């Protein structure tokens, strides 16, 4: 949030949460200590930021399987220090060739999300293999080694994982019950030892044979068979084929680049909606004073109010225009045009909530992960990856130990094309569903300043925006920014989740202005940041305590 009331309110949050911050030449920030250590290990062995990011991702598949893994997808924003180039890799999941716009019409979200019909062709492995091939110093086999060791030797279940294991989604299939439940059938608890020998063997196969074994070999055959599982009959059977897996392609895209005050913000383009929404909101907020406030007075209220309204405007455009650019033309130039955004500024009433505009909220999985890395040479990776909902589809590929995503539920459940709507996010064969993932970099005068992002489904956009404002407008450290209580605007109607530590006086004042605020049942986001001081060139990192955020520097 763009005001100091959040700094004071953060003291309440700190009573229940720890924090991590570090400074140094190479810095890793990830949501789990063992994943952070995997990345640091590769850096110590001479790898660069791309190598470290791959090691982190594979380790997260082991220690945070509920959120990401090779059965899902990822977005990578990579800054190459030597050439001062920023590249984007889209390793988002893809709808099978047999997918149809109406495939979810007769199912509830709860039904479709735990059946094979929701499984998209996974892209994470292909994405990191491509990044390794083009920009890494190590081999794919080398960066898999920390994850192989973790999966084979096991690790102690952490508090965060223990909480997630209590979800019924962790035990929907015989394979997940066998892996994540004890002999008495109860969820594994904090401190219990979790070994994953099938996953270790899968990683060893990939290390030996490369991604081909996953996309064209024995693992591909196992994926196709597994996603045919359905608890609701033929309507729930997955439509992926071996040809879909063999045809998967990683896409290199041009990053979205925008200006905010004196800064350059580089972020993820469609099929992510997050980058567009972030730049739109910043383009509106640039017209308002958002400096730090010393109390909970009218200035702080106004700053929070206009931030919520700017996000609502972004979410309205998101719902109508954004999806896979290969599916329908996306008017990016217009959506980010300064004159258009200036018109949007005039829609904001500084004293009252705007009338409802645009579509309402669509369900979207919140259990994603984010990590950021900078190496000693100044190369940077900001990556958000996912299996969509908590524990993905709940389908663990038998004998191979990884979960399949339920990413296709991010498409429109009811087709919109032909209803005065372009249907940009309708299900289409070979297309990628709209995402909120927003891995982001910030520069000033050509110098890289920070890399960050967050998990959280539609809450990602708010978390990334608030972090951006906290650092760029309020001039907070990354450490202070990630600790602050958050809100999250879910849709253009302004349905907004708030964390309990948000000041009660501010909450009451926002409600008096008409805002629709609901206490979030879960912490909002988990921002992992790395950065560099523009004067001293000291590197720093900050890891969000909402999960088990860890910074390692050396």
Answer yes or no: are the C-beta atoms of 278 and 439 closer than 8 Å.
Answer: no
Q: Give the span between the Cα atoms of 49 and 58, in whole angstroms.
A: 14
CATH architecture of 5-12+253-364+437-553: 4-Layer Sandwich (3.60)
Distance separating alpha carbons of residues 90 and 76, to the nearest angstrom: 7
The bridge status of strand 193-194 relative to strand 256-260 is: unpaired
**Which residues of the chain form CATH 3.60.20.40?**
5-12+253-364+437-553
Q: Can you tell me whether residue 171 is helix, strand or coil?
A: helix
Give the pLDDT of residue 20. Answer: 42
Residues annotated as catalytic are 368
Tell me which residues of the chain have a pLDDT lower than 70: 1-24, 291-299, 357-366
Dihedral (C-alpha) 20, 24, 27, 29: value to the nearest 10 degrees? 10
Q: What is the pLDDT of residues 36-58, one digit of tens each?
A: 999 999 999 999 999 999 999 99
Q: Is the bond preceding residue 401 a cis peptide, omega within 30 degrees? A: no
Contacts of residue 535, Cβ cutoff 8 Å, sequence gap at least 6: none
Q: Measured between alpha carbons, how far is residue 76 from residues 73, 88, 205, 364, 373 in Å?
A: 10, 6, 24, 20, 11
CA 377, chain centre distance (Å): 26
Res 11: pLDDT: 29
Q: Where are the beta strands (DSSP E) in 25-91?
A: 27-30, 73-80, 85-91
Comparing CA positions, the residue from 240, 210, 241, 206 lying closest to residue 393 is 240
Q: What is the DSSP letter of 240?
A: -
Q: What is the pLDDT of residues 8-36, one digit of tens each?
A: 333 233 333 333 444 459 999 999 999 99
Rounded to whole angstroms, how far apart are CA atoms 324 and 277?
A: 15
DSSP-derived secondary structure for 287-342: TS-----SSSSHHHHHHHHHHHHHHHHHHHHHHHH-S-TTTS---HHHHT-HHHHH
Q: Which of 270, 262, 425 is nearest to 336 (CA)?
A: 270
């Amino acid at each position: 949030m763009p005001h100091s009331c959040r700094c004071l309110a953060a003291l309440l949050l700190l009573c229940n949460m720890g924090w991590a911050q570090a400074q140094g030449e190479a810095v890793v920030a990830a949501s789990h200590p063992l994943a952070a250590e995997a990345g640091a290990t590769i850096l110590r062995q001479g790898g660069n930021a791309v190598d470290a990011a791959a090691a982190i991702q594979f380790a997260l598949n082991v220690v945070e399987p509920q959120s990401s893994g090779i059965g899902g997808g990822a977005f990578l924003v990579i800054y190459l220090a030597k050439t001062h180039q920023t590249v984007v890799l889209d390793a988002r999941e893809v709808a099978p060739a047999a997918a149809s716009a109406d495939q979810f019409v007769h199912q509830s979200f709860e039904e479709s999300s735990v059946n094979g019909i929701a499984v998209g062709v996974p892209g994470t492995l292909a994405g990191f293999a491509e990044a390794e091939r083009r920009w890494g110093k190590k081999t794919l086999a080398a960066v898999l080694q920390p994850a192989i060791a973790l999966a084979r030797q096991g690790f102690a279940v952490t508090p965060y994982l223990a909480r997630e294991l209590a979800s019924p989604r962790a035990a929907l299939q015989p394979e997940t019950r066998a892996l994540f439940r004890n002999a008495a059938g109860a969820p594994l608890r904090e401190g219990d030892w979790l070994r994953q020998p099938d996953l270790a063997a899968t990683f060893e196969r990939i290390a030996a044979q490369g991604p081909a074994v996953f996309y064209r070999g024995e693992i591909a055959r196992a994926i196709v068979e597994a996603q045919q599982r359905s608890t609701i009959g033929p309507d729930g059977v997955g439509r992926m084929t071996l040809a879909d897996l063999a045809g998967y392609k990683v896409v290199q895209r041009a990053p979205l680049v925008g200006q905010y005050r004196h800064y350059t913000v580089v972020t993820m383009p469609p099929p992510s909606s997050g980058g567009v929404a972030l730049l739109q909101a910043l383009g509106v907020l640039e017209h308002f004073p958002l400096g730090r406030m010393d109390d909970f007075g009218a200035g702080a209220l106004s700053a929070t109010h206009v931030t919520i309204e700017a996000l609502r405007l972004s979410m309205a455009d998101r719902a109508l225009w954004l999806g896979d650019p290969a599916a329908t033309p996306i008017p990016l130039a217009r959506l980010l045009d300064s004159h258009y955004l200036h018109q949007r500024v005039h829609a904001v009433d500084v004293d009252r909530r705007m009338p409802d505009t645009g579509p309402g909220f669509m369900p979207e999985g919140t259990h994603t992960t984010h990590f950021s890395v900078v190496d000693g040479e100044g190369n940077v990776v900001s990556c958000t990856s996912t299996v969509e909902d908590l524990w993905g589809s709940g389908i663990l590929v038998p004998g191979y130990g990884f979960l399949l995503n339920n990413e296709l539920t991010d498409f429109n459940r009811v087709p919109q094309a032909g209803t005065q709507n372009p249907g940009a996010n309708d299900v289409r064969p070979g297309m990628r569903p709209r995402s909120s993932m927003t891995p982001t970099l910030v520069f000033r005068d050509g110098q890289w300043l920070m890399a960050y992002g967050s998990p959280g489904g539609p809450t990602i956009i708010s978390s990334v925006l608030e972090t951006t404002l906290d650092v760029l407008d309020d001039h907070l450290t990354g450490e202070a920014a990630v600790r602050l209580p958050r809100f999250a605007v879910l849709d253009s109607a302004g349905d907004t989740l708030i964390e309990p530590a948000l000041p009660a006086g501010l909450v009451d004042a926002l409600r008096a202005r008409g805002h629709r605020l609901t206490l979030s049942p879960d912490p909002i986001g988990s921002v992992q940041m790395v950065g560099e001081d523009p004067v001293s060139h000291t590197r720093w990192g900050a890891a969000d305590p909402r999960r088990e955020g860890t910074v390692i520097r050396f």
